Amino acid sequence: MVPQLQENRFELKYLIDEPRAKAIRDCVRGFLVPDSHADANADFAYPIHSVYLDNTGLALFNSTIQGHKNRFKLRARYYDDNPASPIYLEIKRRVNDAILKKRAPVHRNCASGLIHGDPPRVEQLIDPGNAKEWDALQDFCDQRDRLQAQGRVIVSYTREAWITPDNNSVRLTMDRQICGLRFNREFSTATFASGVHPRIGGVVLELKFTSRFPVWMRDATRIFNLQRTSCAKYVYCTSALRPGDRKLRDELENILA
């Protein structure tokens, strides 16, 4: 299972209630089709699990809290428990409103070591001959070492995804059942059963496009009265896992205000 990657895109986030989510789904059917991995029997959704890296001072967490225009996240994404499935090491950079992504699919038995300091080797890649993925792996490890970051939190959710039928220029996603679990070096899908569920208060809607904001999508934001917001799942889950940390709680309340 490998959902298509938009390497360069714009990304707008909204927090909506379930009735609006269902109405938006009905609206977008005229423009988008379900992601190829979506399950029509499960609200066109599939599960996503991501291990987020950070250092002991939570530098990447704080860059989001403080609203830095230029920031990035390091994460290891996976979709199931299959030992033959790869782990996708990703760098997600934000430059103003633009999102730049790099991804390196690596063998599952290499991923924990790479998250915790192992040097990159080309044979760790699923496709050792892919120069773009080798560059992504080296960049991931460089940023990891510079920050002295390690795996901190698994963030899991179900994602309903809709895409343009002929390419991947536009994506609309709706994330539900968001939960977090401390990372213990195991790429577990049990987060939904054993993790904490932060109080987000709705469905996280994301509009993603690679060039101009589509006219129909702009019209939808007006029709459904969508108001852009910050809704970083890593921030919510980290805060929920540290309920006694007053500083984290105060910072989260500030960005929600």
- pLDDT tens for residues 141-164? 999 999 999 999 999 999 999 999
Query: pTM here?
Result: 0.90
Q: Is residue 2 part of a domain?
A: no
Characterize the bridge pairing of strands 150-163 and 98-106.
Answer: unpaired
Q: Is residue 127 part of a domain?
A: yes
The number of distinct structural domains making up the chain is: 1
| Confidence bin at 246 (pLDDT 50/70/90) | low
Tell me if 53 sits within 8 A of 152, measured CB to CB. yes
pLDDT for 227: 94
Q: Which residue has the higher pLDDT, 42 or 104?
A: 104
Please give the average per-residue pLDDT across 99-106, as a whole number: 95
pLDDT for 256: 46
Q: Is residue 33 part of a domain?
A: yes
Predicted confidence (pLDDT) at residue 47 exceeds the cutoff of 70: yes
CATH for 201: 3.20.100.30
pLDDT for 257: 44
Q: Is residue 246 part of a domain?
A: yes
Q: Is residue 1 part of a domain?
A: no
Predicted confidence (pLDDT) at residue 173 exceeds the cutoff of 90: yes
- Residue 184: which domain range? 8-256
Q: Which residue has the higher pLDDT, 166 or 16?
A: 16
pLDDT for 247: 57
Q: Is residue 186 part of a domain?
A: yes
Q: What is the distance between the alpha carbons of residues 191 and 52, in angstroms, rounded to a whole number? A: 14
Tens-digit pLDDT profile for residues 10-29: 899 999 999 999 999 999 99
Tell me if 143 sits within 8 A of 203, measured CB to CB. no
Q: Is residue 3 part of a domain?
A: no
Q: Is residue 158 part of a domain?
A: yes
Rg, C-alpha atoms of the chain: 18
pLDDT for 242: 83
pLDDT for 116: 95
